[in-house]
Amino acid sequence: MPTQSSVSKSKSKPVQQKSGELDAIALLTQDHENVKALFEQYEGLGERAFVAKKKLAMQICTELIKHATAEEELFYPAVHNASSEAEDLVDEALVEHAAAKDLIAQILSMDAQDELYDAKIKVLSEQIEHHIGEEESELFPKARKAKLDLLAIGKAIALRKEEISVPSPQSLS
């Protein structure tokens, strides 16, 4: 993959090219915002809104699985190979992903009215919030500094996310 970056150094706003495509960091940050909004919606649901909770939890889990898979296959290896400064951060992120995937698998195999369902969603939300904070404040700046072709990686991430399918809850039981 080319190592010359064609994007600006802006961290606060998504970097969008003339073609309308986002660079990898902007795309991943957009994913972060989307999943945070889904968690907020979940928090706003009534205690007995089981159907809505299950549907929203499935959406959250799907988004997280697609994001984590693409990140692990494409973004993390590129950053790890390009920046010795980021190696430990990538390793931590992979461990955080593994913990989140374990919780996601539990959530997907449960019914919304099961004991601890809401608690597991809450813990997942907190884990993801922590993970997002570290990525956006520590890992993403190191990725920009590494001069990766973040636009090409962003395109690859977007394509990979479209390919990923998540097993239905019924197939997990």
> pLDDT tens for residues 30-47?
999 999 999 999 999 999
Percentage of residues of the chain with pLDDT beyond 90: 82
- Spatial CA neighbour of 1 closest among 161, 156, 163: 156
- Mean pLDDT across 44-62: 96
pLDDT digits (tens, 9 = 90+) for 141-158: 999 999 999 999 999 999
pLDDT digits (tens, 9 = 90+) for 86-142: 999 999 999 999 999 999 999 999 999 999 999 999 999 999 999 999 999 999 999
* Predicted local confidence at residue 97, as pLDDT: 97
- The pTM is what? 0.85
Structure tokens at 127: 């884990």
Question: If you search the block for the tokens 């009215």, which residue do you land on?
Answer: 113
* Predicted local confidence at residue 169, as pLDDT: 55
Average pLDDT, rounded, for the chain: 88
- Give first-to-last CA distance, the chain, whole Å: 40
Q: Is 35:67 a contact under the CB 8 Å cutoff?
A: yes
Task: Report how far residue 46's alpha carbon sits from residue 60's, in angstroms, rounded to the nearest whole number.
Answer: 17
CATH assignment, 24-166: 1.20.120
Structural domain boundaries in the chain:
24-166
- Mean pLDDT across 43-61: 96
